[in-house]
Structure 1
């Protein structure tokens, strides 16, 4: 009986060692959303004015609410006519911050713009004369332990 218990204990310890040895050397970090924007000719300053007012205020409110860690606007030198001119970068604490994002961000946007979601959608459509959203990508930072 004692040898059976000792054998079980040895197996248990071996299993714990194997699990510990398989621990990854990194952990999940913040999530970054990168949106590619192609500007229409002559619309750079107009779009930057929008970003500096409405977009920036929404991001600041979201940052205050803890939904956003940071945000940036990056200018690019396009290689050809089909490449993005700007990249909008927003860093979230984790993927969970994006769950039910409309419920979290709509009140913030409504507060900043004084518009309901239908009016916000219409305003976004009007900005199409300034830019084309080429796409968006979600990236997760992997942080070494």
Structure 2
């Protein structure tokens, strides 16, 4: 009797789960893929905020503007965090890309961009090492925006 009751319970649960799956499959999708965002969290070292902002207004900006000119970058923003705590970012970098395909550019194309902004790939690498003196990267992420459809 216990075996029969257990089997009946298992069957009822399986049917209940299957019904939920069927219902989920009939839900109409109300969104589509939108642009892709990268978000970078940066903590400037004490007394180095203005120097980091000079970098952002120089080579960083040149790279973003080149991306906009190509049509790969839709927008970019630099945000200042108010009231951050120790070891938290005080600058957030947002870049909006048209799609994921932008990330599949060849290394030669990327080298051309960095050479334009920094003078050469070697100088770009040296500048990257030097930036470690003025800031600490505190993480980041890449996320796709979902664009709502209808109504």
Q: TM-score category by the smaller chain?
A: 0.7 to 0.9
Mapped to 2, the partners of 1:135 and 1:52 lie a distance apart of 21
Give the gaps of 5 or more residues in structure 1: 1-20
Give runs of aligned pairs for residues 92-131 of structure 1, distance below 5 A. 92-100=97-105, 102-116=107-121, 118-131=122-135
Count of paired positions: 126
The SS at the match of 2:73 is coil
Provide the secondary structure at the position in 2 that maps to 1:72: strand
CA-CA distance at 1:100 after TM superposition = 3.5
Alignment of 1:60-139 (within 5 A): 60-100=65-105, 102-116=107-121, 118-139=122-143
- Structure 1 counterpart SS, 2:82: coil
Gap change, CA 1:126 and 1:57, over 3 Å in 2: same
**Residue by residue, what CA displacement relative to the aligned partner does 1:86-105 show, whole Å, maximum 9, x if unpaired?**
01111101111112464443
Stretches of structure 2 lacking an aligned partner (at least 5 in a row): 1-25
Normalized against structure 2, the TM-score is what?
0.76
* Alignment pair present for 1:44 and 2:49: yes
Structure 1 residue runs of 4 or more that deviate by more than 6 Å after TM superposition? none
Counterpart CA distance in 2 for 1:128 and 1:75 is: 19
TM-score for both structures, normalised by structure 1:
0.79
2:34/2:145 contact within 8 Å kept: yes
**CA-atom RMSD in angstroms:** 2.0
Q: How far apart in 2 are the matches of 1:121 and 1:22?
A: 50
